[in-house]
Structure 1
Amino acid sequence: MATNERPSITLSARQVVGKKVKTLRREGVVPVHYYGSGIESLSLQAAGVTLRKVVTEAGANIPVEVVVEGSAESDICFVREVQWHPVNGTLLHVDFMHVDITERVTAEVPVVLTGQSDAVRELGGVIIQPFQTLPVDALPLNMPESIIVDITPLEMFGDAIRVGDLEVEEGIAILRDDDDLLVTVQEPRIEEEPVAEEEELEGEELAEGEEAPEGEEAEAQESDEG
C-alpha cells in the first residue's frame, strides 16, 4: 500500500449563495461545502485552479489539510461530492468532510497492478480485474493512497489473486470477503474463421456438377421419344 504527502488548501468565507454562484464561477472561484461531525456546516470558496489540483491529487481517499481563512489551525478533511460541468469539464462544486483523526473512516482506495505475469507475457493471456477500487477502513492519516497488487505470481491461465492474499498494514481493514477475486488471467479468445459460407458454396457447386439420378434420366428419355 502506498501513501503520499497530504495536499493542502485554504478556504475562504463565501457570501454568495444560490444561483448567484454562477458569478463566482465566471471569476474562476468555486463554491465549497464544508461539513462534518461536531462542526458547523460552512459555505466557503476557493480558487478553481488550486481546488482542481487538490481534488485531482486527493481523490476520495487521501486526507486533505484544510485551513479555513481566519482560523489558526488546520483540519483534516476528505473530498466527498465533486460536481463537474457535463460538457466542458469545469469544476462546479466540492464538498469537504471534516474528520476526527482519532476516529476510523471508510474510503474507496484504487487498486494498482504492478509486475509482469508470464501468463500474459508468454502465453498471451488477458488480465481480468473485477474491482478498480476497494473499500478500506482505517484512521484518516493511515488511509493508503492505493492498494498495490503484484501480478508476477500469475504464471498460468486461471491463476488468481484474492483479497485474502493481500498483505495489509496493521490497523487497516479491507471491507471485502477474503475469497473475493482481485485479478486473474484468462486464456485469450480465438476467433474461428467463418466456414459456413464456404461449405454452402461447395455444396452448390457439387449440386451443379452432379449427374441426374437414373430414374430421372429414364423419364427424360421416354419424354423425348414420345
Structure 2
Amino acid sequence: MSDITDSSLLVQNREQHGSSFSKKLRAGGRIPAVFYGKDTLKHYTIEDSQFRTLMRKSGGSLSLIELVEDSGEKELALLKDMQIDSVKDSILHLDFVHVTRGQSLETGVPLVLVGESPGVKNMGGIIELHQSEILIRCRPSLLPKSLELDISTLELGGSLQIKDIPHIEGVEFVADAESNIVTCVGSASGRAGAGEEDLTEESEETEESGESESAQESEEKANENS
C-alpha cells in the first residue's frame, strides 16, 4: 500500500457478474465497478473502505484516479457515475471512463457558489441553481475538482451566466457563454404577498368604478325628475 497515492485505488479483476454476485461483493466490503473506454472494457472490484477514504480526502469530488491492478498495471480514469443506496448508506456500483494522458477530455465539474447574494440577504430572495455541474474541456492534468462562482453581486431578479465563472488557463467551457446557471428570484411568500396586493388594488379599483357609476346614475335620474 505504500506506493498508492491519494489519487490511486487498488482494484481486482472480476470474471463473475450479475446482481446476486454483486450483493455478495458488497456484503464482503467490496464494490463492483466497470472501467471502459474506446477499445477497453474491464470489470473490477474495489475495497469499500479505501474508496470512501479517498472520497473524504478529496472533499467528495473525485477528478482523476489511477486504478492499480494486482498485476501492477495502471489505468488513468475518471469517475463517471456512482450508484448509491442512501437509505442503507451503501455504494452499489462505480463507473470509470478511460483517460489518455495528453489528450483533452470532456466532463462535468461541480459548481460551488461562494459569497452572499444581496438579493437574498436584503430582499428575501431565493437562489435557483440551473446547473450543478459545468461541462468543460481540458487536458487531464488541468482538470479542476470544482468551479467557483461568486454570487456577492447577484441582486433580486438577476442572473449569472457561464461567462461569469473565472477563467482557468487551459480550461474551455463547452456550453454557450450566455447560458444562465444561477438566478435570484422572489421567495414564495413574497410572490404570494405581491399577488394579494394586486388583488386588493384591483378590488379597490372595482369599488371606485362602481361608486362612480352609481353617482352618475343618481345624477341622471335627478335630472330626469327635475
What is the TM-score of this pair, normalised by structure 1? 0.71
Distance 1:24 1:135 in 2: 33
Query: 55-64 or 86-95: which moved more?
Result: 55-64
Does residue 158 (structure 1) correspond to residue 161 (structure 2)? The answer is no
Indicate the residue corresponding to 1:169 in structure 2: 168
2:6 and 2:106 mapped to 1: Cα distance? 17
Equivalent AA in structure 1 for residue 151 of structure 2: I
* Total equivalences in the alignment: 190
Deviations 1:30-71 (A, max 9, x none): 2222222344x2222121222344467486761112211111
The answer to whether the 8 Å contact 1:30/1:91 transfers is yes
- Between the aligned partners of 1:120 and 1:181, the Cα distance in structure 2 is 18
Matched with 1:68 is 69
Q: Which runs of 5+ in 2 are unaligned?
A: 204-226
Select between 85-94 and 111-120 the one with higher mean Cα deviation.
85-94
Q: Please tell me the residue identity of whatever aligns with 2:164.
A: D
Partner of 2:111: 111
Letter in 2 for 1:66: L
Q: Comparing both structures, which one devotes a greater share of its residues to helix? A: 2
Q: How far 1:86 moved relative to its partner?
A: 7.0
1:37 to 1:152, Cα distance in 2 relative to 1, 3 A: same
User: Which secondary structure does the structure 1 equivalent of 2:192 belong to?
Assistant: coil
Shift of 1:114: 0.6
Aligned to 1:24: 25
Amino acid in structure 2 at the alignment position of 1:69: D
Q: Matched residue of 1:49: which SS?
A: helix
CA displacement 1:90-115 (0-9 Å, x = unmatched): 22222222210211111111111111
- The one-letter amino acid of 1:94's match is L
For structure 1, list consecutive stretches of 5 or more residues without a partner in the other structure: 200-226
Once the two structures are aligned, what percentage of the paired residues are identical? 25
Equivalent residue, structure 2, for 1:128: 128
**1:87: how far off?**
5.0
SS at match of 1:145: coil
Higher relative contact order (CA 8 A, sep 6+): 1
Aligned-residue CA RMSD in angstroms? 2.9
